[in-house]
Every structure is written in structure tokens, then in C-alpha cells.
Structure 1
Amino acid sequence: MHTREDDVLSLDEESTYPYAPEFLHFIDEAATVYHAADYFKRELIDAGYVELKESEDWIPKLKLGGKYYLTRNSSTLLAFAIGSAYKPGSPVAFIASHIDALCLKVKPVSNSGNAAPKGGFDRLGVAPYAGGGGAQRWDGSYSTWWDRDLGLGGRVLVQTKDGSVKENLVKLPNPVARIPSLAVHFGEPARGPFNYETQMVPIIGLTRNAEGKEEIIDGSLGKLHSARVLKAVAHELGVNPTDIVDFDLELFDFQKANLLGLSGEFISAPRLDDKLCSFSALTSLINATSDNSFMASSEVVSMVGLFDMEEVGSGLRQGAKGNLVQTVINRIVEAQVGLKEEEKSRYTTNLIGQTLGRSFMISADVTHAYNPNFDGIYLEGAAPALNKGVVIAADPNGHMTTDAVSITLMRLVAQSCNSELQLFQIRNDSRSGGTVGPTLSERLGCRSIDMSIPQLSMHSIRAMTGAGDPGIGVQFFEGFFRGYQAVQAKVLVQ
């Protein structure tokens, strides 16, 4: 994994908190869901993974010992490695997480109505990306977005000279937006309640440029968005503004991730939910499958799925409710890896059932760490600590997939890799969040569990975890990939 050139960690700190520098670098790179997927693609390519396209024939491509990845919508990524001893019907060891995060999405018309230039200011029309929506979501999750320096990035569709349209990623090099609060001196208006359509509109500049002229861009996009936004994006990409066909852009916290605490024992960062579990899951997959001895003896398909859309319900083709995982597993079995041509007819629904009946999924999403300032809201004995161990998340009402059998399996995995496990369950008088676990559990039918890395300030623009927690996650998840083949044979429960 890559590290930041400007890391200030000492050698002692690096050895105390393995993977902290790599994780800080990743968070800074992965400003949007598209940048996160692209970062992981590059890591997989460096580790020898081969890209697959859904529109291609996979049967001649999938080989024993092969390592592959694919993306959907440039925002969801799935990677898998086929053990050299794999036989059709053998299990899949699967970790599922999500790489989308709370942000402010640029509206399709971002320069008119309540976001039109006003009082000499250019403003940007945005909408909150988070489940629930509406004023309640603004009051809660987005209350921390006031007075923050915000960056702009995402994907841009550009038409080339030959008429084809290509996708480009963009991330402007400097913060460009801010949502200013009203000073407390104004009294009642500064205390709210606020109208988030009209009073939480980001300011991105002054209407007139340095020469005192208003800028205009020809074409349809020039009528929908600020000319200065279009020019800034085009300049970063090295294209003409009129070559931009459309884009999916978002505002994000521009401040870099950093270590925190007197001994650097914490990580302060944006987008922890859930680039934290995603980082640990994919790193563990690369680590395990880079070991030739593991791959040579493995009968298992080791797989990681990192999904978009979790924060808004996991819908659409790139969400966990889509058919990506089911389709990929079916195609792996259909390819009949390692079988002779005359045995291809053995591909049946029966083999798919065997595969899923032997498989296991970890739904990996962050959970709440113990906050010492709010002691009374935690269930006694189920308040996870930072820098201690991965967390088993339980909920009897179906918000989590955990049960006694899956806990038993993961305790065996933890023993095999010397990992410590913690527990979290919400109190009866509190509301539980959700994960991709229940959705995928319904669709796949394999055994599953919800496991987490703990954090504080969930859904704030900037959250906090332990400096050791990314590495703690890698240790356990890698242990899962390495140990599942042996562990699943010990638990004789259907």
C-alpha cells in the first residue's frame, strides 16, 4: 500500500500502529466514492489482479489461482481470488462493505433558484446524500458541515474530438466552498430553526471575476451551472469547458486526515463511514492472496465487495440490493474452473446451492465506540473501545445478521489469528442503524455476521477512530480469509 510523502509518524509510531500511514493516505486520496473505487483498482492491479468487464465472456478468463476485479458505475468494486485447489461447489469467503459516504451532491441545476447568485456571491446548489433526507437529516447529520472548507470532486463525462464520451475523475486542488453560519450576535435568527434549502447554500466565490466581468459559458451546461465551476473543472482536466457533457460532483471535507492525541493514538478523519472497513477488508484480501502458499492450498473463493448507495438504502444497480454479487458467484461456478470441457454440463442450480450453503459473509461496517461523555446511553458490556479489537454487532430485530452460529465461527477465526473480539448492541431505548448485511443475507442465503471497526462521531463531517484500528481490522479480516476453509468444517450446524 502507498503512504503519504508528508507523513510525520516516527518509526516507533509506525511499528505501534501498523497501517495507520497507509490509511491516512487512502482517506486523503478517496475524497469521493469514485476516487475510492479508483484507488482500490490501482492497488489491485499492483497486486496482480486482472480487470473483468460484465459485458465480456468470463468462461475462458477465470482460472484456478486467478485474481480478478470489476466495477459498476465506477463507484462499486468487487474483487475475488480463486484458490488453486478450488472445485465447483466450494465456498466463497466474502467480506462486504461500502465506500460511499455522507456528502453534498451538486444538483443538476446548481446556479438558479435558491442557489442563484445573490449579493455579489456565486453559490452552488447542492443536496444532502444520506438516508432519510429532508430537514431532519440536515438538522442531524449535516449540522457539522457549517463553517468547513469544502473541496469539489467526482466524475466528469467529456466528449472527445472523435465524438466519443469518456469518464474522467476530478478533484480540485484547493477548497472552493464554505457554508457560513450566522454570527451569534444576530440573536434569534442565528439559533434556528433554519431553512436548509435557502440558508445552507455553499458560497463558492464572487459573481464577478478579477476583471469585474461576469463569466459565461456557451452550451446547455452553461445555463445550468456556474461558469466559474465549469472552467475550474475543465482547467483541472485540461479540456475546454464546452467539451464537458455532464458530471456527478460532490462537496467533501477538504481537511486532511491526521493522527490525534498526546501519543498519536487516534485518527481524526472525514469519511470514516465506511472507508475504514473498506480499507481493512481490501488490504486483507490483497495480503492473503499475495501469499503463494495460501493460494496453492486454498479451495475457497476469497471475495470483497465494496458498494455504493449504502447511505441511501443500497438501491440501484451499484447498491447491495443489485444483482452484482449473485451474478459474479453464478459466473464463477458456471465457468467450471479447472474442469475438462466434457464436464461443463455439470453446471447446475444444485452447484450454486452447494456453494452458498458452504459460504460465509462478513458484513463489515463501522459501529459506535464508547464515548466517555455519554456513559448512560450504552448497553453495559457492549460498549466497544478503540484500539482493542473488531466488534461483533448484534440486533435481534434484523438490522444485523449476527446469530450464535456466526459468532461461534468468528470466534474460531479470531483464535486462529490471535485477534480480540468485542460486542455491540444498541439499548432498547435507542435506534439501531443498518448495514448491507441484511440485504445481501436475503439475496445470497449464506451464513453471515455483522462485524465492525469502532469509531466516534459517526455521520459527523469529521470522525475519530483508533490509530491501531485499521491494522486491527486487517489482522482479523486476513485471518478470516486464511482460516475460513478450516473453520467452516468444524461447525456442523445448518
Structure 2
Amino acid sequence: MQQLEVFNQGLMSFLQLGSTPAHAVQSMQKQLLDAGFKQLSEVDAWQLQAGQGYFVIRGGKSIIAWRQGLQAVEDAGIRMLGAHTDSPCLKVKPHAEIVRHGCLQLGVEVYGGALLNPWFDRDLSLAGQVQYWDQQGHLREALLDLRKPLAVIPSLAIHLNREANKGMEVNPQKHLPVVLCQAHEDDQPGIAFRKLLANWLQEEGHEVAEVVDYDLCFYDIQPPALTGLKQEYLASARLDNLLSCYVGLEALLAIDRPQEATSLLVCNDHEEVGSASAIGAEGPFLESVLRRMAGDEVAYQRMISHSLMISCDNAHALHPNFPDRHDENHGPRMNAGPVIKVNANQRYATTSETSALFAGFCKAAEVPCQRFVVRSDMGCGSTIGPITSTRLGVRVVDVGVPQWAMHSIRETVGSQDPWYLARALVAFMSVEKV
């Protein structure tokens, strides 16, 4: 139980720090450096040594980390874990300022398939990447995270919409502009917000001459928490899918001595919007790293044939108020172990072989596991699993921790399930042959 408590405290700290994909990657970078991993640059030639840990970051929001095995990759293959760093959110538009009816508001764009109603009446803060010119005329980038309540999207009072509880359609253009502050007569659209950003960055020690651009999003400042009468649950923002990033990183770091096979973790941005980007799973990031590790085409193809990827992305737990939304034989329960996700139409990349392999890793780790299949009359979401399998030709199994309220501003998982998944992943990374 003590190990579980320490693990969950670490998970909650990571969730709190990972307000944006860039901040999550920054947190992972620090943990990897502290563990003795070396950061590589894609512009340099690599000389990889057996037993050493390495990582490379692209775009500040996607990361690949691995520990080089003792055997050549073409002979032993690679034990790969995949997750994604992004979550549905509200991103600030480039020309965001709206001054109306005494309020300074910021227009936002919905990123991913967000549940919108839970965003109302939350204490929102702001975080992300900011590009600016410094005093010497150089273009710089800074990570900004204000970590304090500074905005709100107020609900319309029930008195002014008596039908609100019968269902309210949220129009993102009209209903989601965020209230930042009271407006002043000298607030000029296109200037006021960038001035605020410059001031905030200067307070953190950056020499800002002019803010040029940004990639910023709002987030709920409510911290993660263990909940339930016996703390059976863990509630937080961004459980989908920072939970899998943390679990995968912990599994990689747990392999603290050289193994025969290379172990690798890839965490991509842009999964929630289809993964089609230079740093998304459909892009070339992972393949380019793997090809550099292999050295030539024949070695690369041999390496792929010996490899297996576990794609980790949370699954839909059986909701006690909506049990009819699940297939009656495939409703995963909280704290009953990781879920193997199966779909006949290849929305998940799991095969009978890879499913059996993952069940074996769970058995070796003395961890229970479950299986999920969506109702036959409902559509199915997808993951980086089918994308990676298609792009690389590698075997993949899609798994995840069961959760409630996926894509809400606050989600819930069982407090034991992340620990179960981590143990199964350590068993996978420790196996000599798959």
C-alpha cells in the first residue's frame, strides 16, 4: 500500500505540473535527466551506447525516451510504449481580445472533442508557449504557466433560462469567450493581451521587447485529489492521457539496469485532433528515431519484426448511471485492472496475438486485466495504436486504465488502476522475447 500511495502522489504531482503538453514534456525531461538519461538533438549525429538512456524532444510537446539494450536492435527488437501529451481544452485565438459590455474577454477555439458544459463556472488559469523578441532582437520561446485563477466562463442564471436543465446547446463562438477582467477605456483590441503576456514574462525574468505569437490554453486550477469514502478514486484534469505518459515513464525508469532489448517510450502531441502533424503519431518523428537506431533498411525491417508496441490510452469505465451505454459483457470496472481494447473495424490495433501477450504480462505481474468492446450499435473512438501500426508495420496492442467522464475538464479513474498498469508495463519491458 505504501508503494501505491507514493506512486499516486507522484502521478498527481505530474498531472498538476502538466497544464499543457509542453509543460508535461518539460516535467518528463527533468525526470529523465535526473535518472541519468542524455538528451539528444535531431540535428546531431548519434553514437548510442548499450545500457545508456537517451531522449529527444520535438516541437517542445512530443518526446521519445529509451534505454539502449545490450543486444542489437535488429536481433532483439524494441519494447515500445505509446501515449499522448495533449488533452481537449480551450485555446486562445491569435486576435483574442473582445471588449463588450464592460468586460475584457478572450475568444477561444475548442481543441479536440471536449465536453463543454463542465467548463462553465470554473476557476481558470492560463499556460502554454510564448514566442517573443528579446531586447537584442532575437526570437525566443518561453513557457508560461500563471497557476492562479484569472478567468471564468460564467453560466447564464437559471432565472434567465428556465429550460437550462432540459439541455443546453453550447455555441463555442457565442458562449465560450472567457471573461478576463473589467474593461478599461484604453484597452485596445490586439494590444492589451500581448501587453499582459509581456508583463507576466518580464516578472519571470525574461527580457521581452515584444510578444510575437503564442500557443496558450486555459485550464482548471483545481488540483488532483483522491476521492471516495476509501479513496478508491483519483480525480483530475488531463487524466486522458497524461496518466499514460506518467505510467509509461515510471515503467521505463523502473528498468534501471541494462536489458537485452531496448525499451522505448513515445509521447506524441495532437492525438486529440487526429495525430496528423510533424510531432503527431501520424508524422515521421518515431519512425525517424527508429531508423537512426537501426542504421540501415534491412536492420530496420528486422527490428520492426521483433518489436511490439503497447499503446496506452484510457478506456471507458462502466458508468453506474448509464450502464446501457456499454456492451453487457464488456463494461470495464474501476480498480479491476487495465483494459485491453478491441475493435473489429481496426479503431484499435489489438489482435488476438497481441491481446494474449498483454494478458501474459499482466499475469506475470500478478495484475488483473479486462477487455472492452464498444456496443455494436455505437461508433468507436481510436488511438495512436492503429496509426503507429499502419505507419511502421509493428505489432500493437491497445490498452488503458478505465475512467469516467473522458474529455471532461475533470475526469476520474480508480486509484489502483494506474499502479496495476505500471506493473504490467514493467513486466513487458523486462521480458526477453515477444
Same fold (TM over 0.5): yes
Q: Which residue of 1 aligns with 2:227?
A: 260
Please tell me whether the aligned partners of residues 117 and 170 of structure 2 are also in contact (alpha carbons under 8 angstroms). no
Pick the aligned partner of 2:150 from 176, 196, 199.
Answer: 176
Q: Which residue of 1 aligns with 2:384?
A: 436
Q: Which residue of 2 aligns with 1:97?
A: 83
Question: Aligned partner of 2:135: which letter?
Answer: K
Report matched runs for 1:180-219 at 5 Å. Answer: 180-187=154-161, 192-208=168-184, 214-215=186-187
Question: Aligned partner of 2:28: which letter?
Answer: F
CA distance in 2 between partners of 1:369 and 1:189 (Å): 30
Q: What is the aligned length?
A: 432
Q: Find out whether 1:372 has 2:320 as its counterpart.
A: yes
Deviation at 1:192, TM superposition (A): 4.2
Deviation at 1:41, TM superposition (A): 0.5
Structure with greater strand share of residues: 2
Report matched runs for 1:315-394 at 5 Å. Answer: 315-334=276-295, 347=296, 349-394=297-342
Percent identity over the alignment is 30
Q: Which residue of 2 aligns with 1:482?
A: 430
CA distance in 1 between partners of 2:331 and 2:215 (Å): 38
Q: Which residue of 2 aligns with 1:152?
A: 126
Change (3 A) 1:377 1:192: closer
Change (3 A) 1:360 1:235: same
Which shows bigger deviation, 241-250 or 96-105? 241-250
Change (3 A) 1:333 1:149: same
Please tell me whether the aligned partners of residues 354 and 396 of structure 2 are also in contact (alpha carbons under 8 angstroms). yes
Pick the aligned partner of 1:283 from 240, 250, 254.
Answer: 250
Alignment gaps of 5+ in structure 2: none
Deviation at 1:189, TM superposition (A): 7.8
- 1:249 aligned counterpart, secondary structure: strand
Question: Aligned partner of 2:32: which letter?
Answer: L
CA deviations over 1:446-471 (Å, ceiling 9, x no partner): 11110111111111110101112221
Report matched runs for 1:39-188 at 5 Å. Answer: 39-58=27-46, 61-86=47-72, 88-111=74-97, 116-131=98-113, 141-187=115-161
CA distance in 2 between partners of 1:170 and 1:308 (Å): 18
Deviation at 1:223, TM superposition (A): 2.8
Change (3 A) 1:482 1:34: same
Deviation at 1:240, TM superposition (A): 5.6
CA distance in 2 between partners of 1:229 and 1:430 (Å): 46
- 2:90 aligned counterpart, secondary structure: strand
- TM-score normalized by the length of structure 2: 0.95
Question: Aligned partner of 1:102: which letter?
Answer: P
Please tell me whether the aligned partners of residues 455 and 466 of structure 1 are also in contact (alpha carbons under 8 angstroms). yes
CA distance in 1 between partners of 2:244 and 2:375 (Å): 24
Question: Aligned partner of 2:96: which letter?
Answer: S
CA distance in 2 between partners of 1:454 and 1:69 (Å): 29
Please tell me whether the aligned partners of residues 317 and 333 of structure 2 are also in contact (alpha carbons under 8 angstroms). yes
Q: Which has the larger radius of gyration?
A: 1
Q: Find out whether 1:230 has 2:197 as its counterpart.
A: yes
CA distance in 2 between partners of 1:247 and 1:200 (Å): 19
Alignment gaps of 5+ in structure 1: 1-11, 132-136, 217-221, 335-346, 489-494
CA distance in 2 between partners of 1:16 and 1:247 (Å): 38
Question: Aligned partner of 1:442: which letter?
Answer: T
Change (3 A) 1:358 1:187: same
CA distance in 2 between partners of 1:192 and 1:284 (Å): 43
Q: Which residue of 1 aligns with 2:210?
A: 243
